[in-house]
Amino acid sequence: MARKNLNIGLVGYGFMGRTHSNAFRQVNRFFDLEYQPVLKAVCARDGEKVKAFAAQWGFDSVETDWRTLVTRPDIDLIDIASPNDTHAEIAIAAAGVGKMVLCEKPLGRNVAEAERMVETVEKAGTANMAWYNYRRVPAVTLAKQLIDEGRLGRIFHYRAKFLQDWTISKDLPQGGAALWRLDVNVAGSGVTGDLLAHCIDTALWLNGPIDQVTAMTETFIKERKHNLTGKVEKVGIDDASAFLARFSNGSLATFEATRYARGHKALYTFEINGEHASILWDLHDLHRLQFFDHRDEGRLRGWRSLHITDGDHPYMKHWWVPGLQIGYEHTFIHQMADFLQGLSEGKPVAPSFREALATDYVTDAVLRSAASGRWEHVKKLV
């Protein structure tokens, strides 16, 4: 079967530029698909570095201005992997000229940006998707299947946290290439838009809409040297963010994210307690799912540690043999596989920009509540 080319124009060559590029290169090796991504061009401001990146990953060409990239007729799809402050502008321009648009999460720095992005891609009618990659961890996808099958029954509790410890040092500066996540002007917020957004996207997908939240945020280190100005400046991001929530289905939730939890590098965990069964997942051992089923025989009830490496687990028949685990980057490959399959079938692939906007509505309510000290309602997705 001859595959159809899908010409990619990538913006950004950082951490996410690498995970996306790898997904484009690997997807057709492991999945049978009509379409194949072609690494047509990569774009970033630093000409030398972008050339090196293109050589490393096999891009055909480079650009240093995304406006040029976006209008190139040989590009089918713009993939945005640059910092948050560029998402809206690039996405809107790309959709405006009819390109498909993929965008790293969060959609925008704030709801206003995100709403404009949704509006534009929907008006353009172009394929769009946000890279909330954790939906495609096979263990997480299995959790979704179990919930959709009604295995858990009525849901009582949801709890999620995303714990890191990389910004505890006072000597860490803010801003600039590697540290834009600490610069509020670029990032929009701190852990709320970065880590909590992941927790929220998964939660909305698994457990439905959130009605209201009460939140607190904290900036533990108040001032840091800014890499762009060279001066000590006020830190505008939140270092930690936690909230209580009530879901529309009546369940209660606790959410927390921080970069000050010593001992945890990327401990994203979620747990769901239902009437009949419970589920627990942990990014540090992402190939496992913990599952408890009360309908098991009494003496033999216990949390099952599912090793998600079998052919009947989501996505896993495409990889190796039972017992052999995959890693983090595979989640992007899975998402790309689903996107390409959706393209063949003419179906949108979740999470669309609109679905990603729902997450921004929650983070917006979280930040509003942290400021007001009150419960805040979450704006409903139309």
- By the rule CB under 8 A, 165 interacts with a copy of itself: yes
Q: Quote the CA–CA distance of 41 and 7 in Å, as a whole number.
A: 8
CB of residue 318 vs a copy of itself: minimum separation in angstroms?
11
Q: Which amino acid is at 193?
A: G
CB of residue 141 vs a copy of itself: minimum separation in angstroms?
11
Nearer to a copy of itself, 67 or 265 (CB): 265
Q: Which of residues 28-47 bind a copy of itself (CB under 8 A)?
A: 28-29
Which stretch of DSSP H or E encloses residue 357? Answer: helix 353-372
Nearer to a copy of itself, 309 or 359 (CB): 309
Q: Which of residues 54-113 bind a copy of itself (CB under 8 A)?
A: 56-57
Neighbours of 40 (CB within 10 A): 20
- By the rule CB under 8 A, 7 interacts with a copy of itself: no
- By the rule CB under 8 A, 261 interacts with a copy of itself: yes
- By the rule CB under 8 A, 291 interacts with a copy of itself: yes
Q: Quote the CA–CA distance of 85 and 234 in Å, as a whole number.
A: 19
CB of residue 191 vs a copy of itself: minimum separation in angstroms?
12
Helix (H, G, I), strand (E, B) or coil at 179: coil
Q: Quote the CA–CA distance of 229 and 174 in Å, as a whole number.
A: 10
Q: Which of residues 178-217 bind a copy of itself (CB under 8 A)?
A: 214-216
Is the separation of the CB atoms in 255 and 199 below 8 Å? yes
Site string for a copy of itself, 293-332 (x = CB under 8 A): xx-x-xxxxxxxxxx-xx-xx-----xxxxxxxxxxxx--
Nearer to a copy of itself, 97 or 292 (CB): 292
CB of residue 332 vs a copy of itself: minimum separation in angstroms?
11
DSSP state for residue 248 in the 8-state scheme: T
Q: Quote the CA–CA distance of 56 and 13 in Å, as a whole number.
A: 11
Tokens of residue 117, six digits: 């992005």
- By the rule CB under 8 A, 349 interacts with a copy of itself: no
Q: How many residues bind a copy of itself (CB under 8 A)?
A: 90
Q: Which amino acid is at 120?
A: T
- By the rule CB under 8 A, 274 interacts with a copy of itself: yes
The packing angle between helices 47-57 and 15-30, to 10°, is 20
Q: Which of residues 221-240 bind a copy of itself (CB under 8 A)?
A: 240
- By the rule CB under 8 A, 13 interacts with a copy of itself: no
Nearer to a copy of itself, 118 or 191 (CB): 191
The dihedral built from the CA positions of residue 164, 168, 172 and 175, taken in this order, carries a sign that is positive
Q: Quote the CA–CA distance of 23 and 329 in Å, as a whole number.
A: 8
Only one of the segments 24-32, 82-90, 106-114, 187-195 lies at the binding site for a copy of itself (rule: CB under 8 A); that segment is 24-32
Binding-site member from 373, 377, 380, 381 for a copy of itself (CB under 8 A): 373
Is the separation of the CB atoms in 40 and 10 below 8 Å? no
